[in-house]
Copies of this chain bind each other. A is one copy, B any other.
Amino acid sequence: MAQQARAIQTRQSILLAAAAVFDERGYGSTTINEILARAGVTRGALYFHFASKEELALGVMEAQMDLGPLPPQLTKLQELVDQGLLLAHQLRHDPLVRASVGLAMEPWGEGLDRSAPFRSWIERLRTLLEAARTQGELLPHVSPEETAELLAGAFTGIQEMSQVLCERKDLQRRVAVMLHHVLPSISLPALLPTLDIAEDRAERLLALREAQEHG
Protein backbone atom coordinates (compact mmCIF):
# COMPACT_ATOMS: atom_id res chain seq x y z
CA MET A 1 0.00 0.00 0.00
CA ALA A 2 2.86 2.34 0.84
CA GLN A 3 4.39 1.26 -2.45
CA GLN A 4 1.22 2.18 -4.33
CA ALA A 5 1.10 5.58 -2.66
CA ARG A 6 4.71 6.15 -3.66
CA ALA A 7 3.94 5.18 -7.25
CA ILE A 8 1.07 7.68 -7.37
CA GLN A 9 3.34 10.35 -5.96
CA THR A 10 6.07 9.57 -8.50
CA ARG A 11 3.55 9.70 -11.34
CA GLN A 12 2.28 13.05 -10.08
CA SER A 13 5.76 14.57 -9.79
CA ILE A 14 6.58 13.39 -13.34
CA LEU A 15 3.37 15.00 -14.60
CA LEU A 16 4.16 18.27 -12.83
CA ALA A 17 7.68 18.30 -14.27
CA ALA A 18 6.36 17.48 -17.76
CA ALA A 19 3.76 20.24 -17.44
CA ALA A 20 6.38 22.79 -16.43
CA VAL A 21 8.64 21.90 -19.36
CA PHE A 22 5.79 21.74 -21.92
CA ASP A 23 4.57 25.11 -20.63
CA GLU A 24 7.99 26.73 -21.01
CA ARG A 25 9.12 25.17 -24.28
CA GLY A 26 6.06 23.88 -26.11
CA TYR A 27 5.52 20.25 -27.09
CA GLY A 28 7.80 20.26 -30.11
CA SER A 29 10.92 21.52 -28.34
CA THR A 30 10.52 19.45 -25.18
CA THR A 31 12.72 16.37 -24.72
CA ILE A 32 12.21 13.47 -22.34
CA ASN A 33 15.65 14.23 -20.91
CA GLU A 34 14.52 17.68 -19.82
CA ILE A 35 11.49 16.19 -18.10
CA LEU A 36 13.71 13.61 -16.40
CA ALA A 37 16.07 16.28 -15.13
CA ARG A 38 13.19 18.40 -13.83
CA ALA A 39 11.34 15.51 -12.17
CA GLY A 40 14.44 14.07 -10.53
CA VAL A 41 13.33 10.47 -11.15
CA THR A 42 15.12 7.62 -12.93
CA ARG A 43 14.55 6.92 -16.58
CA GLY A 44 13.12 3.53 -15.56
CA ALA A 45 10.56 5.17 -13.27
CA LEU A 46 9.47 7.58 -15.99
CA TYR A 47 9.04 4.86 -18.61
CA PHE A 48 7.19 2.69 -16.09
CA HIS A 49 4.47 5.37 -16.00
CA PHE A 50 4.70 6.91 -19.49
CA ALA A 51 5.96 5.11 -22.58
CA SER A 52 6.55 8.25 -24.67
CA LYS A 53 6.43 12.04 -24.85
CA GLU A 54 2.96 11.72 -26.33
CA GLU A 55 1.74 9.74 -23.34
CA LEU A 56 3.18 12.41 -21.05
CA ALA A 57 1.31 15.09 -22.96
CA LEU A 58 -1.93 13.11 -22.80
CA GLY A 59 -1.37 12.58 -19.06
CA VAL A 60 -0.95 16.34 -18.54
CA MET A 61 -4.10 17.07 -20.52
CA GLU A 62 -6.16 14.56 -18.54
CA ALA A 63 -4.93 15.84 -15.18
CA GLN A 64 -6.06 19.35 -16.10
CA MET A 65 -9.72 18.44 -16.44
CA ASP A 66 -10.01 18.06 -12.68
CA LEU A 67 -10.41 21.51 -11.12
CA GLY A 68 -11.34 19.92 -7.80
CA PRO A 69 -14.75 20.02 -6.11
CA LEU A 70 -16.66 23.28 -6.07
CA PRO A 71 -19.45 24.03 -3.61
CA PRO A 72 -22.95 23.61 -5.10
CA GLN A 73 -24.73 26.93 -5.68
CA LEU A 74 -28.37 27.97 -5.69
CA THR A 75 -28.34 28.27 -9.47
CA LYS A 76 -26.59 26.20 -12.13
CA LEU A 77 -25.67 29.47 -13.86
CA GLN A 78 -23.66 30.47 -10.79
CA GLU A 79 -21.87 27.11 -11.02
CA LEU A 80 -21.16 27.85 -14.68
CA VAL A 81 -19.71 31.24 -13.72
CA ASP A 82 -17.65 29.56 -10.99
CA GLN A 83 -16.16 27.03 -13.44
CA GLY A 84 -15.09 29.79 -15.80
CA LEU A 85 -13.60 32.06 -13.16
CA LEU A 86 -11.86 29.15 -11.42
CA LEU A 87 -10.34 27.95 -14.68
CA ALA A 88 -9.10 31.48 -15.32
CA HIS A 89 -7.54 31.52 -11.85
CA GLN A 90 -5.93 28.08 -12.29
CA LEU A 91 -4.52 29.06 -15.68
CA ARG A 92 -2.57 31.75 -13.88
CA HIS A 93 -1.44 29.65 -10.93
CA ASP A 94 -1.42 25.94 -11.82
CA PRO A 95 1.28 24.77 -14.28
CA LEU A 96 -0.69 21.56 -15.04
CA VAL A 97 -3.70 23.54 -16.20
CA ARG A 98 -1.53 25.99 -18.11
CA ALA A 99 0.44 23.27 -19.88
CA SER A 100 -2.63 21.31 -20.85
CA VAL A 101 -4.24 24.35 -22.43
CA GLY A 102 -1.00 25.08 -24.24
CA LEU A 103 -0.91 21.52 -25.54
CA ALA A 104 -4.50 21.82 -26.78
CA MET A 105 -3.52 24.93 -28.77
CA GLU A 106 -0.38 23.48 -30.35
CA PRO A 107 -0.55 21.01 -33.25
CA TRP A 108 1.62 18.23 -31.80
CA GLY A 109 2.13 14.72 -33.05
CA GLU A 110 0.51 13.11 -36.04
CA GLY A 111 -2.82 11.45 -35.46
CA LEU A 112 -3.29 12.85 -31.97
CA ASP A 113 -6.75 14.14 -31.29
CA ARG A 114 -6.49 17.84 -30.45
CA SER A 115 -10.27 18.00 -30.35
CA ALA A 116 -10.51 15.90 -27.15
CA PRO A 117 -10.00 18.78 -24.66
CA PHE A 118 -12.47 20.97 -26.58
CA ARG A 119 -15.09 18.19 -26.62
CA SER A 120 -14.57 17.52 -22.97
CA TRP A 121 -15.06 21.19 -22.00
CA ILE A 122 -18.07 21.54 -24.27
CA GLU A 123 -19.62 18.45 -22.67
CA ARG A 124 -19.05 19.77 -19.16
CA LEU A 125 -20.61 23.14 -20.01
CA ARG A 126 -23.49 21.55 -21.91
CA THR A 127 -24.34 19.38 -18.89
CA LEU A 128 -24.39 22.47 -16.64
CA LEU A 129 -26.59 24.36 -19.11
CA GLU A 130 -29.01 21.42 -19.45
CA ALA A 131 -29.31 21.38 -15.67
CA ALA A 132 -29.87 25.16 -15.70
CA ARG A 133 -32.65 24.60 -18.24
CA THR A 134 -34.24 21.90 -16.05
CA GLN A 135 -34.21 24.33 -13.11
CA GLY A 136 -35.93 26.95 -15.27
CA GLU A 137 -32.97 29.36 -15.32
CA LEU A 138 -32.60 29.81 -19.08
CA LEU A 139 -34.45 31.93 -21.58
CA PRO A 140 -36.63 29.67 -23.74
CA HIS A 141 -34.69 30.12 -27.01
CA VAL A 142 -31.29 29.07 -25.60
CA SER A 143 -29.60 25.99 -27.08
CA PRO A 144 -27.35 24.47 -24.36
CA GLU A 145 -25.19 22.89 -27.05
CA GLU A 146 -24.61 26.13 -28.99
CA THR A 147 -23.99 28.18 -25.86
CA ALA A 148 -21.60 25.56 -24.46
CA GLU A 149 -19.62 25.59 -27.72
CA LEU A 150 -19.56 29.38 -27.76
CA LEU A 151 -18.28 29.60 -24.18
CA ALA A 152 -15.58 26.96 -24.74
CA GLY A 153 -14.38 28.63 -27.92
CA ALA A 154 -14.53 32.18 -26.60
CA PHE A 155 -12.70 31.21 -23.40
CA THR A 156 -9.95 29.58 -25.47
CA GLY A 157 -9.29 32.75 -27.42
CA ILE A 158 -9.63 35.11 -24.49
CA GLN A 159 -6.99 33.22 -22.53
CA GLU A 160 -4.73 33.12 -25.59
CA MET A 161 -5.08 36.85 -26.17
CA SER A 162 -4.55 37.59 -22.48
CA GLN A 163 -1.40 35.49 -22.53
CA VAL A 164 -0.03 37.30 -25.55
CA LEU A 165 -0.92 40.79 -24.30
CA CYS A 166 0.04 40.49 -20.61
CA GLU A 167 1.03 36.96 -19.54
CA ARG A 168 -2.59 36.31 -18.44
CA LYS A 169 -2.43 38.96 -15.68
CA ASP A 170 -5.90 40.25 -16.64
CA LEU A 171 -7.47 36.89 -17.45
CA GLN A 172 -10.00 36.86 -14.62
CA ARG A 173 -11.22 40.33 -15.58
CA ARG A 174 -11.52 39.29 -19.24
CA VAL A 175 -13.52 36.16 -18.37
CA ALA A 176 -15.78 38.26 -16.15
CA VAL A 177 -16.30 40.66 -19.09
CA MET A 178 -17.23 37.71 -21.32
CA LEU A 179 -19.76 36.45 -18.78
CA HIS A 180 -21.25 39.93 -18.38
CA HIS A 181 -21.75 40.06 -22.16
CA VAL A 182 -23.18 36.55 -22.60
CA LEU A 183 -25.29 35.89 -19.50
CA PRO A 184 -27.99 38.49 -20.28
CA SER A 185 -28.64 36.59 -23.52
CA ILE A 186 -29.19 33.24 -21.82
CA SER A 187 -30.39 33.85 -18.25
CA LEU A 188 -33.84 34.72 -16.98
CA PRO A 189 -33.55 38.47 -16.28
CA ALA A 190 -34.65 38.02 -12.66
CA LEU A 191 -31.65 35.78 -11.95
CA LEU A 192 -29.01 38.17 -13.28
CA PRO A 193 -28.73 40.29 -10.12
CA THR A 194 -28.16 37.12 -8.06
CA LEU A 195 -25.07 36.06 -10.02
CA ASP A 196 -21.67 36.84 -8.53
CA ILE A 197 -19.32 37.49 -11.47
CA ALA A 198 -16.69 39.42 -9.55
CA GLU A 199 -13.08 39.04 -10.61
CA ASP A 200 -12.06 37.75 -7.19
CA ARG A 201 -14.79 35.11 -7.01
CA ALA A 202 -12.32 32.24 -7.65
CA GLU A 203 -10.07 33.34 -4.78
CA ARG A 204 -13.03 33.44 -2.41
CA LEU A 205 -14.22 29.99 -3.55
CA LEU A 206 -10.76 28.51 -3.04
CA ALA A 207 -10.38 30.11 0.40
CA LEU A 208 -13.76 28.62 1.34
CA ARG A 209 -12.72 25.19 0.10
CA GLU A 210 -9.49 25.35 2.05
CA ALA A 211 -11.27 26.45 5.21
CA GLN A 212 -13.69 23.53 4.90
CA GLU A 213 -10.89 21.03 4.31
CA HIS A 214 -8.96 22.19 7.36
CA GLY A 215 -11.89 23.05 9.59
Contact = CB atoms under 8 A, between A and B. Distances in A.
Given A181-B185, A182-B182, A185-B185, A118 B152 contact: no
Contacts of A28: 28
A164 interface: yes
Question: Which of A150, A152, A159 counts the most chain B CB atoms within 10 A?
Answer: A150
Contacts of A107: 26
B105 A147 contact: no
A165 B162 CA distance: 23
Contacts of A184: 184-185
Given A105-B105, A181-B186, A185-B180, A160 B150 contact: no
A33 to B, nearest CB: 20
Interface in A128-179: 146-147, 149-150, 152-162, 164-165, 174, 177-178
A114 interface: yes
A212 interface: no
A115 interface: yes
The 10 lowest CB-CB distance pairs between A and B, nearest first, are A157-B157, A156-B157, A154-B154, A153-B158, A153-B161, A181-B185, A153-B157, A184-B185, A114-B164, A181-B182
